Structure 1
């Protein structure tokens, strides 16, 4: 890992990538996993609870479900803006400061939203909050991936993403058990106070070594951090740190992902995220309302069904993380989204009153959708080098958030037009097939390897 030419007095060099990959998983790696998982759980809770109680909020503000369309749209616009501007900031100033900023701002604005008095006020608060909570997933995954040995990287990221989905589960349990007692305002209070309290957790994990090396390979804080992890490592005072066989850090920063080395990969990743996150946003914000309005399924019953469905999503995520290290990831993700399309179509054909069949379709849909998105997140995170890693997954997510603006807007139109549920779900299944085709194409371009031939040194 380290080398020095004593006869010439050349500067000692230390390979941080090799050091991280050869370390056993210890208490620091576990602590980073736990804390990033908690942060992503809170992010998932705030991102998904709105859709589950949308009709209740509308009623509380004196309107109907259709009146909530601007709130949903503003939230998605904010999330798109945040996905483009916040991850590059994390690549510039660090992962931990940006996570702290996001927790502080979206927690405060979510708490404020509990006292919203109009749809316009709520739309503005959710729009601005969306800028900050949309960035936590890419930045958190970048920090975790850069702190974990390569052989456990996909699995650890998948565990964190299970916890992100766990926020969805937590909001479902709260709706099922406490909606009448807490009212819609109680969800915003919980969603605001807990992230503010969670700021303390960030004190217990270190900044990414990969980030520090790519910012300044002679930063003395790198040696200090390595010695804290392993006091037995011998480092000279003038050691220069580097990241394995990674190519020279591009002077263009995140814009390098549009250069010849990454261009085709970037275009395909952005396109498949547009369809994937667009579909997720549509169903997260409107599926409960579609079933409530067009199939007479109560919000509490839907929330209970989603609690069961969560275990499908958790299973899909863990299976994805385990298999990605063992087989061609592109063909695996392609298969997930073919199953996703079939499950979405089935949700429009099976009456919710046929509980066993409907819940089975819901579990399969969660397995395929959540697990498939986990695969996409892992691809977007691991396909770029550290100097653009947050930006890579963040900007891919940003294009996904553009889909998250367009698709829910179409959902609002379908709700206003009272389209049959069967037609809505049939049309919604089509993007899942488009995603499968795009992932397959990305696999061909990259030769079945994450990052592909062009990204082999990343």
Structure 2
């Protein structure tokens, strides 16, 4: 299928994957990665929705939760820099299993926290593990999916990541009084431990194995398992299409001449994008509760409605990325995102229809735009640095996730009004749009930049 069998010398694994029809194995892996990202999204986002309830339960005020938020973001930054390179070295499956076991166990422990200090430490260590699930999971999925469906499948998985956000919102709206804040940590810990069984049902990434060791004897066996009819010549040399030769620098190659401009711009836009997401995920419910008098449960219900805007934005982004210039598409998303954030601060939440409409547009653009950034960052680097590329870009984003939520807490301390806070928060969205536009110019409108090498023989 994908090999030139006349010579018996080379077998193009990338072409083999891309020319395969999407079948049961691809859908099964999509389902497993989607479940894992759903759990990741649940654990990552429920904290902000119940922040005032946790503070009250521990005998404090929402401002006392600022160390918890900060430690979580610090842990996520550390994990984003450490775990993805580990996945590029030892494999996608073992790192996903480590992360599920790590944040599952620590979330269970956090349910028994007796103070803000204990919760801060546990949440900080948890962040090391759940921040890596997204880049490693997306790398795993992208490497197994044919190119024609790659962006769409990644977008579907990201909808499920956002679905974890929705799931936590549903639980807050209907079950917070019944299970208390501790119940969220128990559920967020027990289910990921059960999900470890799912990873036993899939094989390691074929692209990862080829890039790590083309002579790995498991490669032909895995190819035959995928397609028993594909002839593999004796002594075949397995390679990944026309990608550049695997660099001995590993992930550090992204700072070389070939990738440096792209890397700098990706890191910068992720700093602002994930910083803004962390700010609003951790503090928006509190802003609405403290500054606009909106009950936590009511805001959670509004966010459930807003989630469907995010799901639509994600799926439309995935569909359009395969059909038009992705950079101009993402730029447009974030320009509208800035306008929606500004309007959330101007429309009184008691004006339910207009306020929910602003939330829907904001979710559509922010979640869909971040999906575009994640897809772009995942596909911008070759397999040997794919997890690291998205992970380290996310790591810089997590640094923004430390700075921005800290500023959100200070906004409460300083007594800024809701319109002022949301107007300031709209500015980073404009900066993201400008950075994505610049990246599109640098890369000539092509994800990963202009081709530097001639196509290899097959």
**TM exceeds 0.5?**
yes
SS in structure 2 opposite 1:399?
A: helix
Which of 351, 366, 369 is the aligned partner of 1:354? 351
Aligned equivalents of 1:216, 1:388: Cα separation in 2? 14
CA-CA distance at 1:454 after TM superposition? 4.7
Are 2:245 and 1:248 equivalent residues in the alignment? yes
Q: Which moved more, 1:125-134 or 1:446-455?
A: 446-455
Contact 2:100–2:130, Cα closer than 8 Å, also in 1 = yes
Aligned equivalents of 2:291, 2:230: Cα separation in 1? 64
TM-score, normalised relative to structure 2: 0.98
**Ranges of 4+ aligned residues in structure 1 off by more than 4 Å:** 454-458
TM-score, normalised relative to structure 1: 0.98
Which of 173, 176, 196 is the aligned partner of 1:179? 176
Aligned runs of 1:314-393 on 2, under 5 Å?
314-393=311-390
User: Which residue number corresponds to residue 99 of structure 1?
Assistant: 96
SS in structure 2 opposite 1:2?
A: coil
Aligned equivalents of 1:2, 1:155: Cα separation in 2? 26
Aligned equivalents of 1:337, 1:4: Cα separation in 2? 48
Aligned equivalents of 1:318, 1:80: Cα separation in 2? 27
SS in structure 2 opposite 1:384?
A: coil
Contact 1:384–1:455, Cα closer than 8 Å, also in 2 = no
User: Which residue number corresponds to residue 116 of structure 1?
Assistant: 113
Which of 174, 187, 191 is the aligned partner of 1:190? 187
Contact 1:282–1:404, Cα closer than 8 Å, also in 2 = yes
Are 2:244 and 1:276 equivalent residues in the alignment? no
Aligned runs of 1:37-116 on 2, under 5 Å?
37-116=34-113
Which of 227, 236, 256 is the aligned partner of 1:230? 227
Aligned equivalents of 2:206, 2:94: Cα separation in 1? 14
Contact 2:306–2:359, Cα closer than 8 Å, also in 1 = yes
1:248-298 CA-to-partner distances (Å, cap 9, x unmatched) read 100000000000000000000000000000000000000000000000000
Aligned equivalents of 1:405, 1:89: Cα separation in 2? 23
SS in structure 2 opposite 1:241?
A: strand
User: Which residue number corresponds to residue 144 of structure 1?
Assistant: 141
Aligned equivalents of 2:452, 2:94: Cα separation in 1? 28
CA-CA distance at 1:2 after TM superposition? 2.4
Are 2:215 and 1:214 equivalent residues in the alignment? no
Which residues of structure 2 form unaligned runs of 5+? none
